């Protein structure tokens, strides 16, 4: 019997020793209070406490209550169901040091049953996986950091590409010009394609499309050098052969520019003569509604390859479009060169005629540059950047001539009529907005300050577009010029200074002349329209067309009751004709200037200096308007953002009441 007892003691000691030596942490709880009845060395070391047996889990680890670690064995004890957890982050206050240790564990908790099957306790097993988790986190962090650096680098390269391309295409009285640039899908890396449209003299415009081998910074830098020398020679000489030969000399010296291709075409807008010089580049396409043909190939090699260059001539008839393009539109997957060339000609002819997509609001050159991309690329995809540049001769529009009395209606009339005239010229949105603001400020001054005795006066406005794409606007009135009474006169600065300062900043040049017969202001501004820089995703969404010609002249101030705070949205123009109404609304919504208010300016179509003064946090003495505590929201690209940035009025470009990714409160109402 003694031997059997000794054997049993030895077996128990063996089990205990093996339990103690387990690499995983093991603990056993008993009873409804989950009192510890066993804990191996690994668990005691983990807890920093060698005296766990006999204590409840809450006595030992009170900090676990808020970490949902006590609830796990309680659930197992109550339901008899096992629980498994992976990589739980837990914090343990060590008894021996008093310090909190944070770690990650995998755990398994199972019920412990009595001989009759009743759950009387819980066994728990844990593995400390902190090292593996932290290693993975570090790897993820490094990967994320590397990805962020890559994204930043890619954004820099792409931004470099965009900066090297022209910011806009010229708006000319005798030609419509449009361009599109479609980035390659692979990494959206900046490539070596470029385009330019350069007025070189009265009634002549040079069109250039080129392609440098490769992608990335080196290709973009080489493209910038070639583009600069071509611009310079074309502007100086107006001769495409001279310009291409100058680019060829650059390619001899700059390795990255070697083997670049370029096509330069000079269009005489008076008689339609097209003079073209190509260096290894596909020839231009002349397309009308019923036919399309390519100019003869010059047969010359790329730049920097020792080739000589010559010119070919043709004629661009009225109604036809001349299209220059990069070879990315021909070298599409699954298309042989001959088939791709014929397909391009057919598609451009259909786009010029309006037989493709029904975006008739677009001009023929816009359709040639956008519909062509959309229709051809969606069939095959593309593996290279694609550049399209198109021009069409047109009959110049009549100049603008307005004459009106100096009443409040003159401000809106001048703005609407000028905007309509600029739209007919195909001016871009930014130029239209800038000139509308500049002219409105001058008309406002004439209406409010030119006739202090309230006598009727006259305002005349004329606008002309010269052959180089510079618009000249003359605003004249027969009122009296108001001089400052002394240096620093606040009333003059309040009434005139901001408006004239805004006018000067909106345009390239402002000249003022005044005498006893009235005041004449002359504005000069070079017009442009943006080329479309696209990605495949944007192209598949369809190319947006222009909105209606009419500006929204109805001004609305609407409460936004579903916003989390006090908020309104403003729609339409804000100028001298409605500023008192807007001021009253601001006073009403801020309860006399005592409550904060968010003002959504997204849908504001015009923001005059009088409205800027009202919204500005800095009060002008004697202007009659209390300054309520306003948070101005003007998103990037909005008219309000452009104006408020120009005059340095604080505002936010991110919706202050909307979490990222959520919808906004200030969207224009339906219809």
Was domain 552-646 assigned CATH 3.10.150.10?
no
Task: Annotate 314-353 with DSSP letters as a single string.
Answer: EE--TT-EEEEE-GGGTS-TT--HHHHHHHHHHHHHHHHH
Domain range list for the chain: 2-128, 165-393, 400-529, 552-646
- What is the Cα–Cα distance from 640 to 646, expressed in whole angstroms? 10
With the CA atoms of 509, 530, 172 and 418 taken in that order, what torsion angle do they form, in degrees rounded to the nearest 10? Answer: -60
pLDDT digits (tens, 9 = 90+) for 258-304: 999 999 999 999 999 999 999 999 999 999 988 999 998 776 899 99
The 10s digit of each residue's pLDDT in 439-465 is 999 998 888 766 655 567 899 999 999
Q: Containing H/E element for 536?
A: helix 536-540
**What pLDDT does residue 560 have?**
87
Q: Report if pTM > 0.75.
A: no
**CA separation for the pair 338, 320 (Å, rounded):** 23
pLDDT, averaged across the chain: 84
Sign of CA dihedral 468, 470, 475, 481: negative
Q: Is the dihedral of CA 616, 504, 508, 389 positive or negative?
A: positive
The pLDDT, as a whole number, for residue 537 is: 66
Contact 534, 373 (CB under 8 A): yes
pLDDT at 86 over 60: yes
DSSP string for 147-170: HHHHHHHHHHHHHHHHHHS-S-EE
Q: What is the pLDDT, as a whole number, of residue 527?
A: 95
pLDDT digits (tens, 9 = 90+) for 206-234: 999 999 987 767 777 888 899 999 999 99
Tens-digit pLDDT profile for residues 295-331 = 987 768 999 998 989 999 999 999 999 999 999 999 9
Tell whether the torsion through CA atoms of 24, 30, 34 and 35 is positive or negative: negative
Confidence band for 495, pLDDT divided at 50, 70 and 90: very low
Pick from 100-109, 376-385, 658-667: least confident: 658-667
Whole-angstrom distance, CA of residue 111 vs CA of residue 75: 10
CATH topology classification for 400-529: Heat Shock Protein 90 (3.30.565)
Q: Under CATH, to which class is 2-128 assigned?
A: alpha beta
Cα 312 to Cα 264: distance, rounded to the nearest angstrom: 11
Mean pLDDT along residues 423-432 = 92
Cα–chain center distance at 232: 31
CATH, domain range 165-393 = 3.60.40.10
Please name the residue that has the structure tokens 């339906």: 670
What's residue 11's pLDDT?
A: 65
């Amino acid at each position: 019997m003694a031997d059997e007892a000794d054997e049993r003691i030895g077996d128990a000691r063996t089990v205990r020793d093996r339990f103690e030596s387990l690499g995983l942490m093991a603990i056993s709880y008993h009873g409804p209070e989950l009192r510890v009845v066993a804990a191996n060395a690994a668990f005691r070391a983990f807890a920093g406490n060698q005296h766990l047996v006999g204590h409840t889990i809450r006595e030992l680890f009170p900090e676990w209550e808020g970490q949902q670690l006590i609830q796990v064995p309680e659930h197992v004890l109550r339901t008899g169901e096992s629980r498994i957890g992976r990589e739980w982050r837990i914090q343990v206050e060590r008894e021996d040091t008093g310090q909190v240790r944070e770690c990650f564990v995998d755990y398994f908790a199972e019920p412990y049953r009595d001989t009759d099957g009743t759950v009387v306790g819980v066994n728990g097993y844990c593995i400390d996986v902190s090292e593996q988790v932290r290693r993975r986190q570090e790897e993820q962090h490094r990967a994320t950091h590397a990805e962020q650096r890559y994204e930043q680098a890619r954004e820099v390269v792409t931004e470099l590409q965009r900066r090297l391309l022209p910011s806009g295409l010229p708006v000319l009285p005798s030609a419509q010009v449009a361009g599109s640039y479609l980035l390659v899908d692979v990494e959206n890396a900046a490539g070596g394609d470029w385009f330019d449209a350069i007025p070189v003299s009265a009634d002549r415009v040079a069109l250039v499309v080129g392609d440098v081998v490769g992608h990335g910074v080196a290709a973009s830098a080489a493209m910038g050098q070639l583009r600069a020398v071509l611009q310079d020679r074309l502007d100086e000489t107006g001769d495409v052969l001279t310009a291409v030969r100058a680019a060829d000399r650059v390619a001899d010296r700059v390795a990255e520019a070697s083997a670049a291709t370029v096509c330069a075409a000079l269009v005489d807008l008076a008689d339609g003569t097209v003079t073209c010089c190509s260096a290894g580049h596909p020839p231009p396409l002349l397309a009308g509604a019923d036919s399309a043909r390519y100019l003869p190939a010059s047969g010359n090699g790329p730049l920097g390859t020792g080739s000589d260059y010559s010119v070919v001539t043709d004629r661009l008839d009225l109604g036809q479009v001349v299209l220059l393009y990069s070879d990315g539109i021909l070298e599409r997957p699954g298309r042989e060169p001959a088939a791709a060339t014929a397909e391009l000609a057919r598609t451009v002819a259909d786009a010029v005629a309006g037989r493709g997509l029904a975006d008739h609001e677009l001009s023929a050159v816009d359709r040639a540059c956008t519909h062509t991309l959309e229709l051809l690329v969606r069939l095959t995809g593309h593996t290279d950047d694609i550049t399209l540049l198109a021009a069409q001769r047109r009959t110049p529009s009549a100049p603008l001539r307005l004459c009106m009395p100096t009443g409040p209606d003159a401000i809106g009339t001048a703005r609407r009529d000028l905007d309509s005239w600029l739209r007919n010229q195909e001016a871009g949105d930014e130029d239209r907005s800038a000139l509308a603001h500049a002219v409105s400020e001058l008309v406002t001054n004439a209406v409010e300050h030119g006739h202090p005795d309230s006598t009727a006066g006259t305002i005349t406005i004329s606008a002309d577009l010269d052959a180089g794409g510079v618009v000249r606007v003359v605003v004249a009135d027969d009122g009296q010029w108001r001089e400052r009474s002394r240096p620093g006169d606040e009333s003059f600065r309040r009434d005139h200074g901001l408006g004239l300062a805004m006018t000067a900043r909106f345009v390239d040049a402002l000249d003022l002349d005044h005498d006893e017969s009235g005041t004449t202001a002359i504005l000069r501004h070079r017009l442009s329209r943006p080329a479309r820089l696209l990605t495949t995703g944007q192209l598949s969404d369809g190319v947006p067309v222009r909105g209606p010609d009419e500006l929204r002249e109805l001004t609305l101030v609407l409460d936004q009751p579903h916003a989390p705070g006090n908020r309104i949205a403003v729609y339409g123009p804000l100028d001298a004709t409605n500023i008192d109404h807007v001021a009253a609304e601001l006073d009403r919504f801020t309860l006399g200037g005592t409550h904060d208010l968010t003002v959504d300016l997204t849908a504001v179509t015009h923001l005059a200096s009088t409205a800027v003064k009202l919204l500005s946090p800095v009060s002008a003495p004697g202007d009659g308007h209390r300054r309520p505590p306003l948070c101005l929201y003007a998103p990037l690209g909005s008219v309000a953002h452009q104006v408020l940035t120009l005059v340095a009025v604080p505002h936010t470009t991110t919706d202050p009441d909307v979490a990222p990714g959520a919808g906004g409160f200030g969207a224009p109402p339906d219809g």
